[in-house]
Structure 1
Amino acid sequence: MTTKLSLKRLTLLALPLAAVAGVSTAASADEWTPTRSIEFIAPANPGGGWDTLVRTTSRVIQQEGLADQNFAAINVPGGGGAVAWAQIARDSGNPHKLFATSPPIILVPLAGTSRHDHNDFTPIARLITDYSIVLVRDDSDYGDLNELFAAIEENPGLSIGGGSAPGSMDHISIAGLASAAGLNAAEVNYIPFSGGGEAMTSLMGGHVEAVITGAGEASGQLGAGSELRALGVSAPERMGGVLADIPTYQEQDIDYTFDIWRGVMGAPDMPAEAVAYYEDLFARMQETEGWQDARDQLGWLDAYQSSEAFGEFLDAQKELFSEVLSELGLLGD
């Protein structure tokens, strides 16, 4: 099946690239510092991957004393990120506005549901790699992924929720997984929610059969006494912490992995000296004990890229995802 082969390629451009993490921005960063609080936007409701990244980085920066100004976490949900992007796009040149980003900045515009894409904003830095995780209610009859997909094959109406728009990250992730498991990826009954937190709430309420979301954002909902149970994680090998007992897809004879890169972008046409300041800030943040503790607890992997390298990476991701959405029939006009 051609869809399966191409979807498996999604991991090739999203691997952590420690070799490109080198940054020489300290001298330039000294030329500019924020003069007021920084608006740090999560383009979704609380509880999702963008929200987790924004609040975690803001907390670490404050606790480690890395910036004189506060990073104010702001949630702007809607349209799989499109509502926030439209607001940010109108604030060209503002050096005090940042937002969390991940594959939807590529996927949502390609699907035709946002007129703004990554080229309309300023890349700051890629920070981490996360993974997808499939969750069911703790009282679910499904013991593993193969049992879930067998039920879906028998009853295609069974729904799987996710925290991103149709054709966006969670949808692509579950479509690729279903394809690798032998199903028709285009027929997966995917239900979009405005963030992973809302998707998990819907799962607990019995409104969907399963949820696919980021492993990092789900980690706080798992463990002793949890109402949720994980069937599998998209990492190439088992993760740590509360996720250590969750089998990978490959352990369940489904040859598929999926990486979720996450990073930071700024308003359009952000001054170069402000970009240099933030590049340096996030590079220093990743060296702190506070960041490393939070990263490990959330199951993230450091995958830093500077502004220039991140921009080139985004261009390559657009080319790759264009092929995948076209094969799924989800590429917008």
Structure 2
Amino acid sequence: MKKFFLTAILAGALSLPAFAADYTIIAPANPGGGWDQTARTIQTVMQAEGISGNVQVQNVPGAGGTIGLAQFSSQSKGNGNALIVGGYVMVGAILTNNSPVTLKDVTPIARLTGEYEAIVVPASSPFQTMADLVEALKKDPGAVSWGGGSAGGTDHILVGQIAKASGVDPTKINYIAFSGGGEALAAILGSQVSAGVSGYGEFESQIKAGTLRLLAISSDARIDGIDGPTLKESGVDVSIQNWRMIAAAPGITDEQKAAISADIEKLVKSAGWQENLKTKGWQDTYLAGAAFEEQLAKDIAATEATLKDIGLVK
């Protein structure tokens, strides 16, 4: 009888799903933003796909993600169950805020998604093409005003790179930073700025409605479903994506890193994740391991160079 019960218990235990780990993910921003949406999508999909039994998300907003990064770095050392979401905006924030904590203080795991930047003008604008806008920029850089997100963010960096690639001194650009996408959109639609810069998703409905004209997209090649040329096609040799990543705690073992990397690979290959990419309009730019670390180093170096060109970093 005892042998029967023991066999039954073992059989029951073996039939239970074997979850790799429970995770706590830091979203270093307020609820509702891109990093928060990324963290909560990971949470939902990991649990639904059986990758993890329990995933918690904690919001630690402030200073372009550097407050959450600092807290994560100091409180999670060696913790194989701790993760943080971040992205390209954080790279610029670390530099402009002169943050003592950088991405060297965490363990990068993978780039997950990317969103390409769009350059738009109101439908009534005299600028019909990107070439028209660049011509005006070359003639008088200060007369062309650009509306976008926070100073030193992806939008600002892109404008600096467009100026440099066009032979214009990046310190001469007239960039107007808005605290929220709604404010920037209102300014662009109201012709308070010459052009607007943001992730394509921020402008998609207005582009399709015909109230905004898409001049160019910052991808390397044209994107299915987006009717507009790339910057490179328009004669401006620039491409940039506002990517989002996942990183683990500092000081973890090789075994912990391998386990986390395996779970993230399962996540991005899952049907649930791929479905979320479609519904949210996120580009799948998954890149992991040494390839991601190499690309991250290149992005940090390029961002630092651009912010120095603009004059935001010495």
| TM range, smaller chain | 0.7 to 0.9
Tell me how far apart the structure 2 counterparts of residues 42 and 202 of structure 1 sit (CA, whole Å).
28
Q: Where does residue 285 of structure 2 map in the other structure?
A: 302
Report the Cα offset of residue 305 of structure 1: 0.7
Greater shift, 290-299 or 175-184, is seen at 290-299
Report the Cα offset of residue 182 of structure 1: 3.9
Tell me how far apart the structure 1 counterparts of residues 36 and 154 of structure 2 sit (CA, whole Å).
15
CA contact (8 A) 1:31 1:273 kept: no
Unaligned runs of 5+ in 2: 1-17
Give the TM-score, by structure 1 length.
0.71
Tell me how far apart the structure 2 counterparts of residues 258 and 225 of structure 1 sit (CA, whole Å).
26
Unaligned runs of 5+ in 1: 1-29
Pair 1:57–1:136, CA change in 2 (3 A): farther
| Structure 2 SS opposite 1:183 | coil
Q: Where does residue 20 of structure 1 map in the other structure?
A: none
1:33 aligns with 2:7: no
CA contact (8 A) 2:41 2:276 kept: yes
Report the Cα offset of residue 232 of structure 1: 1.0
Pair 1:264–1:203, CA change in 2 (3 A): farther
Q: Which has the higher contact order (CA 8 A, sep 6+)?
A: 1
Pair 1:311–1:179, CA change in 2 (3 A): closer
Percent identical pairs in the alignment equals 29
CA contact (8 A) 2:30 2:59 kept: no
CA contact (8 A) 1:118 1:314 kept: no
Greater shift, 180-189 or 118-127, is seen at 180-189
Alignment of 1:50-69 (within 5 A): 50-69=35-54
Report the Cα offset of residue 41 of structure 1: 0.3
Report the Cα offset of residue 100 of structure 1: 2.4
Pair 1:127–1:171, CA change in 2 (3 A): same
Report the Cα offset of residue 239 of structure 1: 0.4
Q: Where does residue 161 of structure 1 map in the other structure?
A: 147
CA contact (8 A) 1:42 1:75 kept: yes
**TM-superposition CA deviations, 1:235-288 (whole Å, max 9, x none):** 1221023x2x12211332323322444311234435655533331222112222
| Structure 2 SS opposite 1:106 | helix
1:240 aligns with 2:227: no
How many residues align? The count is 294
- The structure with the larger Rg is 2
